A and B are shown apart, each in its own frame.
Chain A
Amino acid sequence: MKQQLLKNICIFSFILFLFHFAAPLSAQDLDDILSSGFDTELSEPAAKDTSNDIDELLSGFDDVSDERQEKDATASSTLPEWLEVTGSLGLAGSYNFTHDAPKEDDVDFRGISMLRTTASLSSEIHWGDWQAKISGHGFYDAAYAIQGREQYTNTLLDLYEQELELDDFYLQGSLSSKLDIKIGRQVVVWGKSDNVRVTDILNPLDNRLPGMVDIKNRRLPVAMTKLDYYIGDWNLSGIMIHEVRFDKNPVYNSDFYPGQQPLPPEQKPDHSLANQQYALALNGIFSGWDLSLYGAWIFDGRAHITTDVNDSLYRKHSRVFMTGMTANLAFGNWLLKGEGAWFDGLEFANLEDEDFSRLDLMGGIEYLGFSETALSLEIVNRHLVDFDEQLTLSPDIAQENTIQTVAKLIRDFANDTIQLKILLSLFGAHGEDGMFERVQLDYDLNDAVTLTGGIIFYQSGNQGALSAIEDNDRIFFEFSYDF
């Protein structure tokens, strides 16, 4: 009896053990789990045996594993580790399809407006926490030879047909654990906006092809000494700008020049101690938001026309003082951007004895919530304080309020091999001061080669710099090889 009891207890215990161990693997339970699991994304094969689906899941890894033996496709560099050399070669072209036939003796802007071969080279040397960089670029534009060089002024050909320039040329390092120095020709970007400029005033821009090139590729490096002191979340940046350099704007005889006559000569301040420019920035970076405060005493990038002792006209850049502030606020997929700048000491030709002040305010928003897409909108208003109607007259042609709006969409396709960029830029509240729209497609043929194509449309404004741009609608392309 007792033997039987012992036996029964043992059998019961064993069965209990088996039951507990085997319970979660019961075929019935597993089927239930699998059925419910495949109801969502795999709704199409709902009628199928779900146990087959799990097998398919497992087999889905097979060809992933096949890649195991593949070799490293990248070539190793022959340069020493402390030296880096990079560069690019390119061919860029554009075709103007809307320009009217020229009047007698005018330039014929129809057809090919650019056929530019470009090259850039950059070298960096690293040692410890220090680095030096030198870079430059050059281009030759065959469009002028094709269209007939005799149509153009020498000034235009000098500026548009070919170029060879030194870009970045600096030494950068740490003087102590909290103090950095960067000395030489460089770009320093202030502000949070990506498409308009409010506090981003330290480097001039290349404006020769308005609308065709993003701001990031238009900044011109300037020689300066920059000291950065870091403490906690804050950074104090002191800058002394040694080189006086101004925007490159469309010149008389070019397709984007609005007037019928050339401007008076520009008087550029000497490279002297008295003409040094100064800038100070305080930047704070915090969780979810950033803040920057700026002050600068620099030359106004916009020149006004005045007369010299011989009553000859020339263009002069006055000294201006700027104070500004920018802030970023990130929440979810949204980024809010705000900038404000106050300029003192602005001068105009029509009221030469007076100085003017201007308040620039910018609001912007960026949204990254759509897959592979970035949307941004930036609106800026430049308000001239104590505005006088005389400023509306030539040659100043100024307005009390100048509004600019830029909307941009960037979307990546096919694992970032294709990028679509749509840009809309309006001057004036409703584009009455001019506007342009650009649609661009970039295609990465491989790691080194990128093909670009696009189209840009211009609408002229009632007055000012964009009053004669509407005939410049064009298609463009670029082939670039990076190494």
Chain B
Amino acid sequence: MLQLKQIQEVLLCGVILLIFSASAQAMTAREIMEKVDGRDDGDNLTANVEMVLIDKKNNRRVRKMKILNKDKGKDTWKLQFFVSPADVKDTGFLTYDYYEGGRDDDQWLYLPDLRKTKRIASSDKSGAFMGSDFSYADMTKRVLDEWTYKILKESEVKGHKVWLIEALPVSKEVEDRYGFSKSVIFIRQDIFMGVRAVHWLKEGKKIKYQEMLGFEQIDGIWVSTESRMKTTKNKVTLHKTVMKWSDIKYNQAIDDEMFTVRRLEKGI
């Protein structure tokens, strides 16, 4: 009787072990990316951003910006103002970034020289953001369903376990819009955040390397305060950009009025 009970216990142990192993293993690439997508990345953000553009000869140009983001459901409203250098100072960029992939973002650019706000019609997010190595796609949250995911392997980055997840666009239209034919994203297993990524550009046989640094918990939210991107071709670095974030504040009471053409023209 006792032996039978022992058998039952061992079987139960085995089943639990199987269930545990199955649940650990059932974490598919898609599920990991759902966790990444669903992670609390904060609402209503204000921050200062410094962007350093570095060319092949190590010449540097520095752009400083103030940014405000407001989450509207899955959509994001963004307001960016350039503070320096002098030739782009007070240039403002307002975006209603719609999460729904098929819907074009609403974008307006205020050029102080022109004293005019111009509507920008561009569904193509592959263009460079203000001459940097970051594209508009890099600055936007990707639509989960527009990519298929596959775990390549597990590894470690700076002592943290990561999954290497390959992301492929589901269609040619998505590939054209983002400008990537493939990405490999390094997801930190403890906090479900991307720490590195490699992007294959659809044109020019170029590869971009992205690295997130300076991880901090701000207002309870894990944030990377520095992001670096370099563009390479045939393993030669063509250009690099370092984007540093400071004075990051989440959950700010930002009025909707801040995300209007009126505010774009008045400045902040």
Contact = CB atoms under 8 A, between A and B. Distances in A.
Q: Do A and B bind each other?
A: yes
Interface in B3-43: 3, 6-7, 10-11, 13-14, 17-18, 20-22, 24-25
A262 interface: no
B13 A13 contact: yes
A366 interface: yes
Contacts of A393: none
A189 B114 contact: yes
Interface residues of B, number: 86
A216 B52 contact: no
B198 interface: yes
B196 to A, nearest CB: 6
Given A216-B113, A228-B262, A369 B124 contact: yes
A371 B203 contact: yes
Interface in B168-212: 181-182, 184, 196, 198, 200-201, 203, 205, 207, 209, 211
Contacts of A65: 211, 213, 228
Which among A177, A189, A288, A415 has the greatest number of chain B C-beta atoms within 10 A?
A415
Interface string A16-54: 110011011100001001100100111000000000001
Contacts of B203: 371
Nearest to B26: A20
Contacts of A371: 126-127, 203
A41 B128 contact: no
Nearest to B201: A41
A129 B257 CA distance: 13
B21 A216 contact: no
Contacts of B154: 25
Interface residues of A, number: 85
Interface string A358-376: 0000000010110110000
Given A60-B209, A412-B131, A16 B64 contact: no
Interface secondary structure of A, over-half rule:
mixed
B119 interface: yes
Contact of B181 (A10, A25, A41, A235): A41
Contacts of A12: 14
A105 interface: no
Contact of B62 (A74, A235, A450): A74
A159 interface: no
A13 B17 CA distance: 7
A461 B191 CA distance: 69
Which among B84, B153, B181, B260 has the greatest number of chain A C-beta atoms within 10 A?
B153
Contacts of A330: 104, 106, 119-121
A23 B25 contact: yes
A227 to B, nearest CB: 13
Interface string B116-156: 10111111101110111100000000000000001111110
Contacts of B53: 415
Given A68-B213, A416-B128, A17 B21 contact: yes
B3 A2 contact: yes
B239 interface: yes
Nearest to B52: A73
Contacts of B261: 285
A414 interface: yes
A29 B120 CA distance: 45
Contact of B131 (A33, A86, A189, A415): A415
Interface string A214-228: 001101000000001
A37 B182 contact: yes
Interface stretch (B66-74, B85-93, B215-223): B85-93
> When A and B form their complex, which 5 residue pairs have the shortest distance between CB atoms, in order from nearest?
A416-B131, A13-B14, A330-B121, A335-B121, A482-B86
16 contacts: A17-B21, A33-B152, A37-B182, A57-B184, A70-B52, A74-B50, A131-B266, A285-B261, A333-B123, A366-B121, A444-B87, A447-B61, A448-B85, A450-B87, A482-B86, A482-B87
